[in-house]
Amino acid sequence: MKDLLKRLVPAPLLKGYYALWPALGRVRYGAPSTKLKVIGVTGTNGKTTTTHLITHILEEAGYTVASLSSLRFKVGKREWANKTKMTMPGRLTVHALLHDAVKAGCQYAVLEITSEGIKQQRHRAITFDAAVFTNLAPEHVESHGSFERYRAAKEELFKRARSVAVINVDDENAPHFARATGARVLGYHAEGKKAQFTPDQLVTATDVSLGKEQSAFTVKLPGAEKPTRVIMPLVGMFNIYNALAAITLTHAYGVPVARAAMALKHLKQIAGRMEVIVREPFSAIVDLAHTPDALEQVYELVRNEYRIGEEGRKLICALGSAGGSRDHWKRPSMGRVAGRFCDEVILTTEDTHGEKAGDIIDAIAEGVGEQAKVRKIENRRAAIREALKAAHPGDVVLITGKGAEPYHSDERGAKIPWDDRAVVREELEKLHP
């Protein structure tokens, strides 16, 4: 439907069509965003996790919260899976959710905001109290026309933030987001990294400790009498940054850092984000990573923490790339990253969106080259099965691109119920009944 509209409707009219829906939603539901503190979270990677962390901390601090992410809808204690395959669903969905949040007595709503959603005007008619920036790397470049336009789309959220703008000041794009907002700018930063600018207030992570089961770091806050130690069941430096974003934002709303630290200590696994499905005799992990930057961070983490290469341990990677109009440029780049870090690479489908799976896989394979052993298996279940069959004790099987997404798009564009985690468990049961 979206592609048909693009072909048939002139761009100015199409923009007006997209803008009409949120305006109708605001009127139909009585401007619900004005009755809540709405927090928008944007960036290339980490949006979903940061949205969940902010929601969790606020709830542990005693607030009633609504949230929307690529994983779920949530209003107070009621939550349900986001099965739309859209992080920001269109039409009246977002305003309807905010309306339900007001009726449920929520004080906050935390929304994951995408550049595609902004491009289609889905952020309009929402009053944002705060905006959070995680990081930026090339993504959706072909859809937006350039990296600069992709970044500018995300900056739109910061133009709308009324009170607080929370920015990862270690990201080289951070100054663009600081300039875009009129809100008070708070930054977060990891000691030893180069901060791109000095915000009104800077929250710093020091003494970082990374492991394969949990991470720990110390939070230094300007004016605080003593630092606060945070221990959480999330892994990787990228999750240190996600947690810092959540701590900085919630502290701006009066949640003590010690309270946030306690909330993070008791955090549950975020579905499909570095989720370990099996630990013995080898490990099998599912993660959403679907950009070259995210893949590199995940692969590097696994190689370091699981001591890949020692005593013959191998990293076996199953991956693909989205089809349709989605970033053809990144396919060989993802292949190059996989070739650098993986001992064996099994290339398969991710979401073909009507494109031939073989064409997508061939483009990724060009990037892998001869750096690693490569197999091409279009059927994703069969690819996962072969990755598991190839593993020996001590090895790690890492399956990326889908995470906990509940559907898989085939060459006809049809949505097929899917869950990488369930497929891993089912195939393991067949291999080791």
Banded model confidence at residue 103, pLDDT cuts 50, 70, 90: very high
* The pairing of beta strand 228-232 with beta strand 283-287: unpaired
Average pLDDT, the chain: 92
- CA angle at 49 for the pair 117 and 299, rounded to the nearest 5°: 105
First to last CA, the chain: 44
Hey, is 74 helix, strand or coil? strand
Q: What is the pLDDT of residues 155-171, one digit of tens each?
A: 999 999 999 999 999 99
Mean pLDDT (whole number) for 29-47: 96
The single-letter code of the amino acid at 100 is D
Q: Is the pLDDT of residue 270 over 70?
A: yes
From the centroid of its chain, how far is CA 71? Answer: 10
Give the residue-averaged pLDDT of 53-66: 98
- Nearest Cα residue to 108 out of 50, 36, 31, 51: 36
Report pLDDT for 1: 47
Res 326: pLDDT: 67
Asked which of 100-114, 253-267, 401-415 is least confident by mean pLDDT, the reply is 401-415
- Between 237-252 and 292-305, two packed helices, what is the crossing angle to 10 degrees? 110
Q: Is residue 47 classed as helix, strand or coil in its secondary structure?
A: helix
Please classify residue 194 by burial: count the beta carbons closer than 10 Å to its beta carbon, then call 0-12 exposed, 13-18 middle and 19+ buried.
Answer: exposed
Angle, CA of 348, 349 and 352, to the nearest 5°: 155
Find the mean pLDDT for residues 276-282. 96
| Identity of residue 239 | N
Complete DSSP assignment for 185-226:
EEEEEETTS--SS--SEEEEEEEEEE-SS-EEEEEE-TT-SS
Give residue 375's pLDDT.
96
290-338: per-residue pLDDT in tens?
A: 999 999 999 999 999 999 999 999 999 999 998 876 678 899 999 999 9
Radius of gyration of the chain (CA): 21
Q: How many CB atoms lie within 10 A of CB 229?
A: 14
Q: What is the pLDDT of residue 84?
A: 84
3-20 pLDDT, tens digit each: 555 555 566 666 666 667
pLDDT digits (tens, 9 = 90+) for 170-214: 999 999 999 999 999 999 999 999 999 999 899 999 999 999 999
pLDDT recorded at residue 213: 93
| Nearest Cα residue to 69 out of 9, 136, 139, 117 | 117
- pTM for the structure as a whole: 0.93
Lowest mean pLDDT among 68-82, 137-151, 236-250: 137-151
Question: Which amino acid, 375?
Answer: R
- The HSE-up count of residue 274 (CA atoms within 13 Å, CB side) is 25
